[in-house]
Amino acid sequence: MKARPDRTFRPRLVRSFFSGEAKGDGGLLESPVVVGLGNPGRSYERTRHNVGYLVADELATRHAGSWRKRKKAEAAPITLGLVEATLLKPTTFMNNSGSAVSGYRPEDLVVVHDDLDLETGTVRVKVGGGAGGHNGLRSIIGGLGNDFVRVRVGIGRPPVGVGVTDYVLSRMDSGVKEAIPAAADAVEFLLEQGPEAAMNRFNVRG
């Protein structure tokens, strides 16, 4: 009895949260934009701070997304069932991530990022909130406000004697790597069923 109403409601929930409009830069945004935060360049590829990039890459692989260069980002359109989305990897370096998403509405964004305040390998979904010391989030909030969804990937706190900058820019450990597919799962679930359902599913403490 419950399956039928849920199936008819799901697309309506997604579309009501992620409504789009024509943007001033000429691009049409009629679907959610998944922003994987990170730094461009080979020296940063496997660092903790680049987990957002890697989640975006995982989603592109799963859904045959093809990356194309834009002025301040790489973008790949993908389709998940009834939802058409765009994957975005800013190429502006972390501290200036906001400039890569300045043409979008915050309520259309799903931002995937590393999080020092979560245990290594933990995946959580959140709507709104502050930057929590994350320079990429700070840049986006400074330009657009905080009315966007985040998929947070825990990297844990640095050990005693290691600075935060050195820690986030060092190579990720196995726990963070193993969280990448789970974070991609969270994004997929969020896009198909909405942020509230995703928080209910992924924010349950085990």
CATH number for the domain spanning 62: value is 3.40.50.1470
The residues near 37 (Cβ < 8 Å, ≥ 6 apart) are: 49, 52, 53, 90, 94, 97, 111, 112, 113, 114, 134, 136, 137
- If one counts the domains in the chain, the total is 1
CA 103 to chain centre: 17
For the annotated catalytic residues, the residue numbers are 49
**pLDDT above 90 coverage of the chain, percent:** 79
SS3 state of residue 107? helix
Which structural domain range is residue 190 located in? Answer: 3-202
- Six-digit token pair at 194? 């909405």
**Mean pLDDT, rounded, for 88-97:** 97
pLDDT digits (tens, 9 = 90+) for 171-197: 999 999 999 999 999 999 999 999 999
- Six-digit token pair at 122? 């933990």
The residues near 31 (Cβ < 8 Å, ≥ 6 apart) are: 18, 20, 83, 84, 85, 86, 108
pLDDT digits (tens, 9 = 90+) for 20-65: 443 333 332 347 999 999 999 999 999 999 999 999 999 999 999 9
pLDDT digits (tens, 9 = 90+) for 112-155: 999 999 999 999 999 999 999 999 999 999 999 999 999 999 99
pLDDT digits (tens, 9 = 90+) for 143-153: 999 999 999 99
First-to-last C-alpha distance (Å) of the chain: 29
The confidence score (pLDDT) of residue 129 equals 94
Burial (0-12, 13-18, 19+ Cβ within 10 Å), 21: exposed
